[in-house]
Homo-oligomer: A and B are copies of this chain.
């Protein structure tokens, strides 16, 4: 039997570890913490970093909220009419926007929910490079596959496809980035215990720094041009479009009176929009656009070369 305390403690420690690792890598930026409480129960620890050497803006948020089970979950939670029950949800969510356009944006979320009969874990990690470098994409996906394979051979192929489908900007007909893994409502099954799900989620959370730090270390001192920066700002505009138009967590949070500043920490420090921007033929920018599609098996690229 999992205790809420053990899960919550894990997420609190994870937030600490990740913030420490990112601060070390940045060398200048420091996380600022805001503690907040939710009138209906629970609260959170929002941590924001800005204007660092490496990180232009980022947030690593912890929350643990509870209260009467919200209406949209009652049926799924198996509650009878007028039956009283509480829900409890906890997790860590982060987005990092780097200074250097050659370094990618990263997003991770790991979370747990319990309400009535419902008990599940969800989350994922995905990467949004402004410029897609195939060796980095291969590194990132190979890393995630290894984490997944340690728990269940079906996880990586399933959750990789889920990320491709989820992080998709319909109105642009392009993926947000190179995806990663995405999983939701992982409950216990006949063959998988809820403790196994928790182990997997810990594996994902614990692997974050190994997945991201090499990528920011690699690019933090690489030179870039004003044109590279402009391209980064346009790509950040797409990130804003995805988060405000499609992202379920963002929409759900905003429409249910969540803490706006914590939810919108995912938005970039600066983003640009330009009418009908078209990169030059043969440019790195055009190559990146051509790779923003579902179904690329990044981890297997080596075999093709």
Q: Which residues on A are within 8 Å of B, measured CB to CB? A: 32, 34, 48, 50, 57, 59, 170-172, 233, 237, 240-241, 244-245, 251, 254-255, 257-258, 260-261, 263-265, 267-276
Contact = CB atoms under 8 A, between A and B. Distances in A.
B240 A261 contact: no
Contacts of A233: 270
Contacts of A48: 275-276
Contact of A261 (B255, B272, B276): B276
Contact of A275 (B50, B171, B244): B50
B274 A50 contact: yes
A172 B260 contact: yes
A271 B270 contact: yes
Nearest to A267: B273
A244 B260 CA distance: 15
Nearest to A58: B275
Given A59-B275, A273-B264, A276-B261, A245 B254 contact: yes
Given A172-B260, A245-B245, 4 more contacts: A59-B275, A240-B244, A245-B254, A270-B272
The list of the 6 closest CB pairs from A to B, nearest first, reads A244-B244, A267-B273, A171-B254, A48-B275, A261-B276, A171-B260
A275 B271 CA distance: 15
